Amino acid sequence: MNAWNTFAGRLRGLSRRSLGVRIVLLFLGLLLAVQAASFVAIRATIDRNARASIASALVSGEQLLGRLLQQNADKLAQGATLLAADYGFRSAVASGDTDTIASVLSNHGDRIGATVSALLDTRFALRAAAQPGVDRLRPAIDRMSARLAGGQPAREIVVLDRKPFQLVLVPMRAPVVVGWVLMGFPIDEPLMNDMRDLSALHVSLQVRQGPAQAWTTSVSTLPANVHAAVEAQRSDETASMNVRLPDGEYSSRQMRLATDASTEVAAVLMRSVDEAVAPYRQLQFGLAALTLLGVIVFAFGSVLTARRVTTPLRRLAAAAERLGAGDYATPLRGQQRADEIGELAQAFERMRIRIADHQQQVLKLAYEDSLTGLPNRTSFRQAVSAATEAAAAAGRSVAVVMMDLDRFKHVNDVLGYRYGDLMLKRVAERLAQEVLRDGDIVARLDGDEFAVLLPMLDPATDAALANTVARRITESFDRSVLLDDQAVDISASIGIALWPQHAGDTDTLLSRAEVAMYAAKRRRDGPTFYDAKLDAASAQTLSLLTELRHAIDHGELRLYLQPKLALDTGRVIGAEALVRWQHPVRGLVPPMEFIPFAEQTGFIRVLTLWVFEEAARHWKRLSRSGAPLSVSVNLSTRDLMDQDLPQKFEAVLVRHQVPAEGFCLEITESAIMDDPERTLGTLERLSSLGFRLSIDDFGTGYSSLAYLKRLPVDELKIDKSFVLNMEKDIDDARIVRSTIDLAHGLGLTVVAEGVENAQCWELLRALHCDEAQGFHMSRPLPADEFERWSSLWTARHAQVALPRGPESDRAITLH
């Protein structure tokens, strides 16, 4: 039962119409067909053999019956002979007393079981009989006497009262024949039973009174209720025939025992075919049982075989499913088989590995930056996403440190892309060295933008740790990078955003780190953490940038001029050109909100050209009405990188018919230090065109005056951060003083910007600073108002004995 359950289970395991079921059904079908064929063949053979053996049994039964009847007749003849020789009987016969003879005949007949006993005279006439009615045997007696005359034994089977009898006729000699003794036996059941016992055949004796009559059974070993059926199916034509009885089929054979004019006797021998076949049937049942056993064993075997075939196939199918679903990592089981399926599995596994490799390469392309081998933006984003999830589960935090190289574009521009690539690789190597903890991830997001993911931070110290990493990165850039023996200085602007303090999701976290990074770029004040204020500013500036291009085309930019005055005479001797953006919605936008982005995008070149063009226009206008002024124009790093800048400026000069000497170009220290070699070339060409050059914001960079002297510079502008508080701050005043002295020592004109009050003016004058610029005199003015302001200023201060500065703290402003 258990075995069946497992079998059924396995069978159910093979789904319908599957290969496994087909294999099992085919095997079982073939087995059953072979078994059925041999079963039929065996059955036919058995049947044939059984019938043949019945036929021969019937033939020998016929002989046996003949012999039995012969034996009976012999016994009867012997008894009759004994009687004929019996002395008593002879005496009785000699006495001629019929009664006595009859009595002796009766006694003797009874003794040997004869039912007919009679004495005939020498001419076969009846002399005495033990039973009445012997006359009826007259025809038989005549036939027997005729046979005797022919020298044959006088034996005869007759029918009396529908019963067959066996008659014998023996002579009574003294010593000549004096008479004949006739004796008869009924052929009855005991004889039939003997026959059945000896031959295992059924015997029926049938009689009929003439050929026109029907046969009737007189005695039989068969039960009385089937006699009629046997009688009905018999045929006079053949000796052998088949008889169908309620309990089955019988083979039969009939033999004629006696035939005379009036009566016929026949014995019908029968044998049940079923009975004959029974022992073989037993054998066949055994065979069938064996077949059944075979089928079960075969079924088990074929199910196992089918599973051996289909299980690995199903595994292959499942593996193919997995491949389809994109799982290339799970190896295939069952490859160790040595057969074809094993080969298929191995081929499949090789395919999986190749696809996995291929996939790996595709993934690598998709998730890895091919230049540096670092993860790219996509994979960094995924890593950040995973890190925030893990941190959320563990109650920890995550930091993203994002950095952008400050002068990378110059490396590309100046040294070419090969060096640019080399630089990025070096930077990637350095960053990888700075990442100390396991699990920190360095990625290259874009061009010169890198990021570090610091996962699983302690919320209490995350900011400090992120800051430390950022500082370490900054410090690592203190060493210049070697590119094929060329030392190049680099620096980076770093922004930091923390999860969950600054952002709740990955994209926000990344964009906030970026916002912080841009803020750091603007402030130039080291690593910067994200702050909500930055976001507002950056969102604004970003959208401003898109509008900037529009602004220049639609005349939204305005040129402002801030006067520059000679400290000794108080005269207006020049102006600095400063740009403003008259935004239709935002109003007047200060330059610090769009200049840095214009510099980043390179749009500054267009802007600078616009400013210079406007400056030239106003210079021409102003110079017509009075003493020629010097107009200062600011240049940014990007401008200095532009090899064609001198040419473009020259074209403007020509167009407006103005001299280069009327303009001073202000360049910040850092702009020069970004790439001194290249800057120097541009500066020299500008200088040779006749432009005056000024170092703006002096004191905020690291350049030495000695170094600056090698540049074609004419003017030095002390940064307003030193000037604004110099009347109060002794250190600032000291710096300003020494700067003025040194600059004069080098033959440079010195300008102080950020002069906000009279004390400052006086102090600068006392220190022999050459020029001053500041709110104390005037804020930057719309260029068209400059002339009015200038004449007002001159009217107020011209009559005042020179050299004198403004009298009051209140500057003359027109707005």
Summarize as ranges the residues that interact with ligand C2E (CB under 6 A): 562, 577-579, 590-592, 595, 608, 611, 634, 636, 666, 696-697, 720, 753-756, 773-775, 780
In one letter, which amino acid is 26? L
Instruction: Give the total of residues touching Ca ion (CB under 5 A).
Output: 4
Q: Is the peptide bond before 803 cis (omega within 30 degrees of 0)?
A: yes
Peptide bond preceding 175 in cis form (omega within 30 of 0): yes
Which one of ligand C2E, Ca ion, none interacts with residue 592, CB within 5 to 8 A by kind? Answer: ligand C2E
CB of 695 vs ligand C2E, minimal distance in Å? 11
Q: Minimum distance between the CB of residue 662 and ligand C2E, rounded to whole angstroms? A: 17
Q: Name the β-bridge partners of 444.
A: 450
Q: Report, in Å, the least distance between residue 717 CB and Ca ion.
A: 5
Amino acid type, 107: N
Which C-beta is closer to ligand C2E: that of 142 or that of 809? 809
Q: Give the count of beta carbons closer than 10 Å to the beta carbon of residue 783.
A: 21
- Shortest distance, position 815 Cβ to ligand C2E, whole Å: 13
- Over the window 623 to 662, marking each residue x when it contacts Ca ion by CB under 5 A and - when it does not, the resulting string is -----------x----------------------------
Nearest distance, CB of residue 501 and ligand C2E, angstroms: 33
Report the nearest approach of ligand C2E to the CB of residue 598 (Å): 8
- The amino acid at 418: R
- Nearest distance in Å: CB 634, ligand C2E: 3
Residue 602 C-beta: closest distance to ligand C2E, Å: 13
Choose the contact partner of 764 out of ligand C2E, Ca ion, none; CB within 5 to 8 A by kind: none
Please name which of 431, 311, 328, 307 lies closest in space to residue 380, comparing C-alpha atoms: 431
Nearer to ligand C2E, 179 or 774 (CB): 774
Note the Cα 618 to chain centre separation in Å: 74
106 or 703: CB nearest ligand C2E: 703
Cβ distance to ligand C2E smaller for residue 192 or 615: 615
Query: Hey, which residues between 6 and 65 contact Ca ion (CB under 5 A)?
Result: none
Nearer to ligand C2E, 642 or 756 (CB): 756
The helix (H) or strand (E) run that includes residue 578 is strand 572-583
- Residue 83: both structure tokens together: 């009687």
Q: What stretches of 204-272 show up as alpha helix (H) in DSSP?
A: 227-233
505's tokens? 């999701």
Residues 702-761 touching Ca ion, rule: CB under 5 A, are: none
Structure tokens at 110: 């009874």
Q: Which of 104, 148, 100 is nearest to 124 (CA)?
A: 148
Residue 715 interacts, among ligand C2E, Ca ion, none and using kind-specific CB cut-offs from 5 to 8 Å, with: none
Tell which residue, 577, 578, 567, has the closest CA to residue 744: 567
- State the minimum distance, in angstroms, from the CB of residue 668 to ligand C2E: 7
Least Å distance between CB 810 and ligand C2E? 14
* Closest CB 567 distance from Ca ion, rounded Å: 17
Cα radius of gyration rounded to whole Å, the chain: 71
Task: Kindly tell me which of 227 and 605 has the beta carbon lying closer to ligand C2E.
Answer: 605
Select from Ca ion, ligand C2E, none the partner in contact with residue 676, using the beta carbon and a kind-dependent cut-off of 5 to 8 Å.
Answer: none
Q: Where are any strands of DSSP class E within 291-448? A: 397-405, 441-446
Residue closer to Ca ion, measured from CB, 499 or 786: 786
Tokens 């046997």 locate to 230
- Closest to Ca ion by CB, 653 vs 671, is 671
For residues 508 and 525, give the distance between their C-alpha atoms in angstroms, rounded to a whole number. 24
Which of ligand C2E, Ca ion, none does residue 406 bind (CB under 5 to 8 Å by kind)? none
* Closest distance to ligand C2E from the beta carbon of 562 (Å): 6
CB 134 within 8 A of CB 124: no
Q: Which stretch binds Ca ion (CB under 5 A): 4-12, 314-322, 696-704, 807-815?
A: 696-704
User: Whole-angstrom Cα distance, residue 450 to residue 427?
Assistant: 9
The smaller minimum CB distance to Ca ion, of residues 251 and 634, is found at 634
Smallest CA-to-CA distance from 557 within 516, 604, 520 is with 604
Cβ pair 738, 759 in contact under 8 A:
no
Task: For residue 433, give Cα distances in angstroms to 190, 198, 368, 442.
Answer: 125, 116, 19, 10
Instruction: Give me the least distance between CB of 776 and ligand C2E, in Å please.
Output: 6
Among residues 696, 715, 756, 770, the one that binds Ca ion under rule CB under 5 A: 696
Both tokens of residue 23? Answer: 């294999």
Q: Please state the φ and ψ torsions of residue 70, each to the nearest 5 degrees.
A: -60, -50
Given 440, 666, 669, 674, the residue binding Ca ion (CB under 5 A): 666
778 contact choice in ligand C2E, Ca ion, none (CB below 5 to 8 Å, kind-dependent):
none
Q: Which does 500 bind (CB under 5 to 8 A by kind): Ca ion, ligand C2E, none?
A: none
Per partner kind, with CB cut-offs from 5 to 8 A, the member of ligand C2E, Ca ion, none near residue 590 is ligand C2E
Instruction: Please identify, using beta-carbon distances, which residue of 181 and 579 lies nearer to ligand C2E.
Output: 579
Decide which of ligand C2E, Ca ion, none touches 674; Cβ closer than 5 to 8 Å per partner kind: none
- Within its chain, how far is the Cα of 739 from the centroid? 75
> Would you say 208 or 564 has its CB closer to Ca ion?
564
Phi/psi region, residue 657 (left: phi>0; alpha: psi -120 to 50; beta: rest), is: left
Q: For residues 72 and 632, which CB has a smaller minimum distance to ligand C2E in the complex?
A: 632
Q: CB nearer to Ca ion: give 404 or 719.
A: 719
Give 227 or 638: the residue with its C-beta nearer to ligand C2E: 638
Q: Which of ligand C2E, Ca ion, none is residue 774 near (CB under 5 to 8 Å by kind)?
A: ligand C2E
Q: Give me 541's structure tokens.
A: 């500036």
636 binds, among Ca ion, ligand C2E, none (CB under 5 to 8 A by kind): ligand C2E
CA-based nearest residue to 758, from 805, 812, 814: 805
* Partner whose binding site includes residue 780, from ligand C2E, Ca ion, none (CB under 5 to 8 Å by kind): ligand C2E
Residue 667 beta carbon to ligand C2E: minimum distance, rounded to whole angstroms: 9
Please give the backbone phi and psi of residue 267, each rounded to the nearest 5 degrees, phi first.
Answer: -105, 130
**Beta carbon of residue 534, minimum distance to ligand C2E (angstroms, whole number):** 19
Residue 225, C-beta contacts closer than 8 angstroms, at least 6 positions apart: none
Q: Which is nearer to ligand C2E, 371 or 566 (CB)?
A: 566
* Closest distance to Ca ion from the beta carbon of 513 (Å): 31
Between residues 154 and 751, which has the closer beta carbon with respect to ligand C2E?
751
Q: Please enumerate in sequence order all residues whose Cβ is within 8 A of that of 778, keeping only pairs 6 or more positions apart, or say none.
A: 562, 563, 789, 793, 811, 812, 813
- How many Å apart are CA 378 and CA 67, to the nearest integer? 115
Q: Is the peptide bond before 527 cis (omega within 30 degrees of 0)?
A: no
- Dihedral sign for Cα atoms in the order 529, 533, 539, 545: negative
Q: Which position's Cβ is nearest Ca ion?
A: 666
**Judged by CB under 5 A, which of 264, 697, 732, 756 binds Ca ion?**
697
In angstroms, the first-to-last Cα distance of the chain is 109
Kindly report the number of other CB atoms within 10 A of residue 542's CB atom. 12
CB 780 within 8 A of CB 560: yes
Q: Of the listed pieces 149-157, 450-458, 641-649, 695-703, which binds Ca ion according to CB under 5 A?
A: 695-703
Residue 379 near Ca ion by CB under 5 A? no
Give the count of alpha carbons within 13 A of 716, CB side only. 27
Token pair for residue 728?
A: 């109060």
Query: Cis link prior to 500 (omega < 30° from 0)?
Result: yes
Residue ranges that bind Ca ion, judged by CB under 5 A? 634, 666, 696-697
